[in-house]
Structure 1
């Protein structure tokens, strides 16, 4: 699958983030992690997948496991609509799609505008929210999409035969 952004240099992509909504919260991921954005489509359920893994789609002959970010973040399930999108990423040589409520925009966020995520308690570790940025009057939670799944989960959902 061709990465829509593959012709752009690393420097061009460095401070660019794709922002999207889950509920009313704005999240951002590095544009370099994004392969493609597609509208919601028919998802084939896979038995024994975890609840947050909705199944798979066939995108131009490639079978892609689909994760509902809303469910992964332990939010309430919501019906999909015309604004619901799938952000296709490439994690460890495997394509994975992440369902989001809606895509907002690609924006520049510089490192100096990103604060570290506050520590909640010693036993709470958030591996995928890596920072908090302020863009105008909006707060954006910066997410490392590659850490949304641990190694075991990633292996389980990508080993579809």
Structure 2
């Protein structure tokens, strides 16, 4: 990567709240802390990688950086849905490594109060559940909050290195 991604200091968190980019998968709302998000792209052609895990769509070239792209529906064992005009790739920076997450739609940025976040249920037997760091309670809805570090695994980034 030619330039190191640095989140803007002070953006995304205060002592009593955190900002989350929200998106949908199978009509459920998810959120990822805004500090992880580098950009949002419309769905684009992805170059497949042979023998990659089923959830790894492949890689894209993002301004000279080879970026692995994960389909979150596949990662979480959800039914497939054809990509459409609302399908997006959320580009995240995980500890200096860039990756993409394919989601059904991107919703908005929510400011969720710390005291409105409940601990996730103790059912961490699936990949989806182990990636959930909390449940954001917003009015009459719940937003499943994900940890970008847990969504990506080392081998996901290694596939991008092989493709480069």
Shorter chain as normaliser: what TM range?
0.7 to 0.9
Report the Cα offset of residue 92 of structure 1. 2.9
Q: Which residue of 47, 57, 60 corresponds with 1:57?
A: 60
Once residues 65 and 35 of structure 1 are traced to their aligned partners in structure 2, the CA distance between those partners, rounded to angstroms, is 14
TM-score normalised according to structure 1 size:
0.88
Structure 1 residue ranges without an equivalent (≥5): none
Once residues 52 and 35 of structure 1 are traced to their aligned partners in structure 2, the CA distance between those partners, rounded to angstroms, is 21
Q: Which residue of 98, 105, 121 corresponds with 1:118?
A: 121
Once residues 83 and 22 of structure 1 are traced to their aligned partners in structure 2, the CA distance between those partners, rounded to angstroms, is 12
Name the count of aligned residue pairs. Answer: 155
Report the Cα offset of residue 159 of structure 1. 2.4
1:36 aligns with 2:39: yes
Corresponding position of 1:156? 158
Pairs within 5 Å for 1:9-20:
9-10=9-10, 12-14=11-13, 15-20=18-23
1:141 aligns with 2:140: no
Structure 2 residue ranges without an equivalent (≥5): none
CA distance 1:154–1:46, shift in 2 (3 Å) = closer
1:40-74 deviations in whole A, cap 9, x for unaligned?
00111111111100001112222111000010011
Report the Cα offset of residue 21 of structure 1. 0.2
TM-score normalised according to structure 2 size:
0.86
Pairs within 5 Å for 1:83-102:
83-102=86-105
The question of whether the paired residues in 2 share the 8 Å contact of 1:2 and 1:35 is answered with no
Q: Give runs of ≥4 in structure 1 deviating > 6 Å.
A: none
Corresponding position of 1:67? 70
Corresponding position of 2:111? 108
Once residues 156 and 56 of structure 2 are traced to their aligned partners in structure 1, the CA distance between those partners, rounded to angstroms, is 11
Once residues 16 and 146 of structure 1 are traced to their aligned partners in structure 2, the CA distance between those partners, rounded to angstroms, is 17
The question of whether the paired residues in 2 share the 8 Å contact of 1:13 and 1:32 is answered with yes
The question of whether the paired residues in 1 share the 8 Å contact of 2:31 and 2:146 is answered with yes
Once residues 155 and 40 of structure 1 are traced to their aligned partners in structure 2, the CA distance between those partners, rounded to angstroms, is 20
Once residues 157 and 68 of structure 2 are traced to their aligned partners in structure 1, the CA distance between those partners, rounded to angstroms, is 11
